[in-house]
Amino acid sequence: MFFKSKSGPIKIQWSEDMAVGVPSLDDDHKSFFEMVESIRRIQRFGSVNNWDFDNIKMILSEYVEGHFLREELFLVKGPYNEYVLHKRQHDSFRSKLSKFLTTASSIEENMEEIALLVESWIPNHIQKWDFRYRDWVKAEDVDPRPLGLLLSSRSRL
Ligand SMILES: [Fe+2]
129-143 pLDDT per residue, tens: 999 999 899 999 999
Strand partners, 144: none
The CATH number of 22-156 is 1.20.120
Tens digits of residue pLDDT in 32-78: 999 999 888 888 887 778 888 888 888 899 899 999 999 999 999 98
The amino acid occupying position 65 is E
43 C-alpha vs ligand 1 centroid, how far in Å?
A: 28
In whole angstroms, how large is the CA radius of gyration of the chain? 16
Centroid of ligand 1 to alpha carbon of 8 (angstroms): 31
Centre of ligand 1 to C-alpha 120, Å, is 14
How would you class 61 by CB atoms within 10 Å of its CB: exposed for 0-12, middle for 13-18, buried for 19 or more? middle
Distance in Å, CA 55 to ligand 1 centroid: 23
| Per-chain residues with Cβ under 5 A from ion ligand 1 | 71, 130
What pTM does this model have?
Answer: 0.86
